[in-house]
Amino acid sequence: AVPVDFAGEHQAGVTTPAQDRLHFAAFDVITDSRDDLVSLLQDWTDAARDMTAGNEVGKFGAVAGPPVVPPEDTGEALGLPASQLTLTIGFGRTLFAKDGKDRFGLADRRPEQLVDLPHFSGDRLEPAICGGDIAIQACANDPQVAVHAIRNLARIAFGRASVRYSQLGFGRTSSTSEAQVTPRNLFGFKDGTANIKLEDTDTVEDFVWARSGDGPTWMDGGTYLVTRKIAMRIETWDRESLEGQQGIIGRAKGSGGPMSGGDEFEPLDFAANSRDGEPMIGEQSHVRLAHPDFNGGAKLLRRGYNFVDGSDQLGRLAAGLFFICYQRDPREQFVRIQNNLAGLTADLMNEYIVHIGSGIFACPPGVGSTGYWGESLF
Ligand code: HEM
């Protein structure tokens, strides 16, 4: 399989057909020097170019360098193909100003779209897995390739940025292309059926890429990333009846088709009633509350991953969905939809999930064959 192009008008890893594996990392910048920040972004871009092409990092790579210094590449991806690795960068609010301090002279460059996410009903966020000055999403079809990429970027950042938290994901929960089969999440349901697909070019233009006039010009062609680590109460869910599960989601578990009838890609019919006069797609079902018709037309490009961080002290799976979505304006998209979903009286699914991590990042436009990540910002 061919590697995914690193260079382009937009960053890869957004509309790129979702790969199977994720290693997501949020970094804190630990220098106050603007020059160090720029040099970090330049070094990262060089390494990202190498790794996404399936090459070793640096001039000498893992084993061809001088034996008296640590190798430029850590080596565990030697012999592995690029595995469709994509690396996607985003800048958090704290990069622009942190605790009122403008460390890098960027305070007036912060886009309005990069909002401080409101507290949503039901949130139980753990600060240690929230935020970050810079996020890097590594996606690949081989877990070792994704882990190698983040590990090498973290190593390169030494003295300039440190990892705040990172998350592994093992199964995509969305398709972003019509050519992909819809995968399943840990509730056992097909996930990504109604997602924005790269083939819907008009929808991608309208809902994913920031365009001229939207905000600061440095973001033209960029996009906004929202991440949510969502814990799922797997064992409780597993005790819910099939009928109950399908009612909560609003789709059939087997086919993924709407509860109003038809196959997976049949449109949802919210007006359809059963014989007893009840709506076939319940008013508190997830798909209804998340649907554009009930959110002022808002859509998201979802690109999340399943995670299992082992089991907790009670023997329950420490599992869930690392929710990732891309959009042109989080205020009109993620925030709007999540407000509709949040709260125990809203989405029936809330009984089975808890949001524990959160992040919002401005992802700059793509990089050409020269240049570096975020160059337009400086
Ligand atoms: C649809 C699961 C969280 C937004 C769906 C579907 C499933 C699902 C099974 C139906 C298939 C599809 O069309 O993709 C989950 C699970 C979640 C979760 C298990 C948490 C653990 C969220 C969150 C948001 C969201 C946090 C956004 C704030 C959507 C949207 C749709 C959708 C926009 C498509 C609705 C439509 O237009 O039909 N989700 N979801 N989901 N979900 Fe979620």
Question: Does 291 score more than 70 pLDDT?
Answer: yes
Q: pLDDT, tens digit, for every residue of 197-252?
A: 999 999 999 999 999 999 999 999 999 999 999 999 999 999 999 999 999 999 99
Question: Does 344 score more than 70 pLDDT?
Answer: no
Residue range 157-176: mean pLDDT, rounded: 96
Q: Report whether residue 288 contacts ligand 1, using a CB cutoff of 6 Å.
A: no
Ligand 1: residue whose CA is nearest its atom 26: 338
Q: Report whether residue 330 contacts ligand 1, using a CB cutoff of 6 Å.
A: no
Ligand 1: residue whose CA is nearest its atom 14: 192
**DSSP symbols for 280-338:** SS-TT-HHHHHSGGGTTT---EE--EEEEEEE-TTS-EEEEEEEEEEES-TTTTHHHHH
Residue range 172-196: mean pLDDT, rounded: 96
The position carrying tokens 């020269």 is 370
Choice among 67-81, 312-326, 334-348 with the minimum mean pLDDT = 334-348
- Exposed, middle or buried by CB within 10 Å (0-12, 13-18, 19+), for 274? exposed
Confidence band, pLDDT 50/70/90 cuts, at residue 20: very high
What's the complex ipTM? Answer: 0.99
Count of positions (residues) in the chain:
378
Q: Report whether residue 300 contacts ligand 1, using a CB cutoff of 6 Å.
A: yes
Question: Does 146 score more than 90 pLDDT?
Answer: yes
Judge whether 183 and 174 are in contact, CB under 8 Å. yes
The mean pLDDT value of the chain amounts to 97
Atom of ligand 1 nearest to the CA of 353: 21
Q: Report whether residue 230 contacts ligand 1, using a CB cutoff of 6 Å.
A: yes
Confidence band, pLDDT 50/70/90 cuts, at residue 2: very high
Q: Report whether residue 228 contacts ligand 1, using a CB cutoff of 6 Å.
A: yes
Confidence band, pLDDT 50/70/90 cuts, at residue 1: confident
Question: Longest C-alpha distance within the chain, in Å?
Answer: 78
Atom of ligand 1 nearest to the CA of 341: 28
Distance 357 CA to ligand 1 centre (A): 17
Q: Report whether residue 232 contacts ligand 1, using a CB cutoff of 6 Å.
A: yes
User: What per-residue confidence (pLDDT) applies to 343?
Assistant: 73
Q: Report whether residue 323 contacts ligand 1, using a CB cutoff of 6 Å.
A: yes
Residue range 318-346: mean pLDDT, rounded: 95
Confidence band, pLDDT 50/70/90 cuts, at residue 345: confident
User: What per-residue confidence (pLDDT) applies to 221?
Assistant: 98
Q: Report whether residue 6 contacts ligand 1, using a CB cutoff of 6 Å.
A: no
The torsion region of residue 298 among left (phi > 0), alpha (psi -120 to 50) and beta comes to beta
Distance 45 CA to ligand 1 centre (A): 33
Domains of the chain, first to last: 1-9+18-98+133-169 (3.30.70), 100-129+175-365 (no CATH)
Ligand 1: residue whose CA is nearest its atom 41: 290
Residue range 337-351: mean pLDDT, rounded: 90
User: What per-residue confidence (pLDDT) applies to 166?
Assistant: 98
Q: pLDDT, tens digit, for every residue of 57-107?
A: 999 999 999 999 999 999 999 999 999 999 999 999 999 999 999 999 999
Question: Does 160 score more than 70 pLDDT?
Answer: yes
Atom of ligand 1 nearest to the CA of 186: 19
User: What per-residue confidence (pLDDT) applies to 325?
Assistant: 98
Of 287, 299, 361, nearest in space to 332 by CA: 299
- Cα separation, 74 vs 303, in Å, equals 28
- Cα separation, 100 vs 252, in Å, equals 49
